[in-house]
A and B are shown apart, each in its own frame.
Chain A
Amino acid sequence: MRALGKVARGLPIEWDGDHYVTRREMVKFLTLGSLLLASANWITVVASKLLHRGSKLERQIGLVSDLDRDGSMLFRYPTEQDPCIAVRTAEGKIVAYSQVCTHLSCAVVYDKAEDGLFCPCHHGLFNLQGQPVAGPPTRPLPRITVEQRGDQLYAIGMEG
């Protein structure tokens, strides 16, 4: 027991001192935390690139004559679980967007009177450039790139 006391006295760190964190150590610890937080921020950038790469899948989605007859056409792209809508604009251009409203994921429909895509759930409205113009949505609809080949319409990519 006496020998143990002698050894304990010889140790360089006192028991009280062992629990004491100096300001220098705290600055070091916080800087390490800062490094981890900055790394986590860059990881979100990488994750966004992986999650929003878009699609380059090519798929035939319908006929232009059907679109002209009804004013709009529903299709699914890039998978069978992704509803989309194609519309011919007043200038004669065909545009297509995801049908999922960016507010709370209801399906948007073409509104001829408003010349836009209307969400019936919360009265959101997107113009035919996909931008939100009224109601609660704040983010644009993901755009589907379409290509006309004769009477056939193809979806060739997705942005956003």
Chain B
Amino acid sequence: MSIRSQGTTLFAAILVLVAAAVVLQLWLLTVSMEALLAGEVKTLVPAAAGSTLLLVVDAGLLRYVFRFDRDTRV
């Protein structure tokens, strides 16, 4: 399998992972808003921490995409 077709499969997989993480973040934001309006403040910090963790995962995958591009173009 060529590097190019490997990259295509890899990027499709990364795109699915990032999209799934964003959907999870959307759900966390919905839960946080409901908790905020209901006065359940204990839920908010874990939800925000979880959302930040997902952001780190997304940023890591994006960095991997950039590095993969850079390495294959050299």
Contact = CB atoms under 8 A, between A and B. Distances in A.
Which of A28, A38, A41 is packed against the most chain B CB atoms within 10 Å?
A41
Given A41-B25, A41-B51, A31 B38 contact: no
A62 B19 CA distance: 59
B22 to A, nearest CB: 5
Given A27-B62, A38-B52, A48 B25 contact: no
Interface residues of A, number: 24
Interface in A45-89: 45, 47-48, 51-52
A23 B52 CA distance: 23
Contacts of B33: 44
Contacts of A52: 39, 41
The B interface, classified by DSSP as helix, strand, loop or mixed, is helix
The A interface, classified by DSSP as helix, strand, loop or mixed, is helix
Given A30-B18, A37-B51, A45-B45, A139 B59 contact: no
B28 A34 contact: no
Please classify how large the interface on chain B is, using the bins under 10, 10 to 19, 20 to 34, 35 or more. Answer: 20 to 34
B36 A48 contact: yes
A136 interface: no
B40 A31 contact: no
